[in-house]
Amino acid sequence: MVKLQSDWVKRRATGLFIDPFLVEVKIKVMPKDSLASALLASWHPIVAGEQLTEGRLSRALDYWNALIPLSQRMSELDAARQEQEKTLSVSELIKLKFLSDKVFQQEISNLLSELKEKSEGGPIDYWQFITVDTYEATVMRSYALSFLISNGYANLIVNPIEETIKVEALPVQEQKSSGGRSVPIAVSYSKWKEMRGS
């Protein structure tokens, strides 16, 4: 054991190893003048004093003084972050005149009739039902179908194991007056292209 300790001490001594504790103690007992001299001896600034002119220092000071305080800049960033996407309800779209109440009700009625006809033999694939010629029309069909599901006129069947989504129209006696369950389903352009076989 003594031999191992002796070897360890020799390795440390020959490797110019300095114990961190000894360095800390030495720094604490050194006078400030010696510390300042050691710093100046080891300091190699990137910018030399000759390159800094009085004019440049003055411009730099003006720049920093003209900046808006950091706290104010951060509050502006926070305000910008709070502007998030907002979803609009059908009634809001009608108020904004993006959608006509009669046209929307007619589209809902037509879609419900189509769903009843196609799902007579049982639930049908969600993606096959909503996918049509254009991406915009597919998104509108998806939105209208979500309206039917949310209001209890249709049923959405999600099978996470098989990763399938099916939909069916509910008979009048099974329709829920309180509304059905609705699950957010992203209708991406890439999914539409995949379903169209493009």
Q: Is residue 146 part of a domain?
A: yes
Confidence of residue 30 (pLDDT cuts 50, 70, 90): confident
Distance separating alpha carbons of residues 98 and 100, to the nearest angstrom: 7
pLDDT at 178 over 60: no
Per-residue pLDDT tens digits for 106-138: 888 899 999 988 888 889 999 999 999 988 888
Distance separating alpha carbons of residues 23 and 39, to the nearest angstrom: 15
- The stretch 171-196 carries a mean pLDDT of 75
Q: Is residue 86 part of a domain?
A: no
Q: Is residue 68 part of a domain?
A: no
**CATH number (domain holding residue 158):** 1.10.10.580
Tell me which DSSP letter residue 164 carries: E
| pLDDT reported for residue 78 | 63
- Residue 128 belongs to what domain range? 94-196
Residues with Cβ within 8 Å of 126's Cβ and at least 6 positions away in sequence, in order, are 145, 156, 165, 166, 167, 185
CA-based radius of gyration for the chain: 37
| pLDDT reported for residue 87 | 66
Write down the residue that tokens 């003594």 correspond to.
2
Q: Is residue 34 part of a domain?
A: no
The closest alpha carbon to 107, from 87, 90, 120, belongs to 90
Which of 2-11, 30-39, 43-52, 78-87 is the least confident region?
Answer: 78-87
Give whichever of 1-15, 84-98, 103-117 has the largest mean pLDDT: 103-117
Q: 3-class SS at 99?
A: coil
The closest alpha carbon to 149, from 188, 131, 176, 110, belongs to 176
Q: Mean pLDDT of all residues in the chain?
A: 79
Q: Is residue 33 part of a domain?
A: no
Q: Is residue 7 part of a domain?
A: no
- Token readout for 58 is 């003055």
The total number of residues written for the chain in this structure: 198
Give the max Cα distance, the chain.
97
* Segments in 43-181 forming alpha helices (H): 54-66, 70-82, 90-95, 101-118, 126-130, 135-150
Q: Is residue 117 part of a domain?
A: yes
Distance separating alpha carbons of residues 60 and 66, to the nearest angstrom: 10
Confidence of residue 95 (pLDDT cuts 50, 70, 90): confident
Per-residue pLDDT tens digits for 72-89: 777 766 655 555 556 667
| pLDDT reported for residue 40 | 85
What does pTM read for this prediction? 0.50
pLDDT at 154 over 60: yes
Q: 3-class SS at 133?
A: coil
Q: Is residue 172 part of a domain?
A: yes
What total of structural domains would you count in the chain? 1
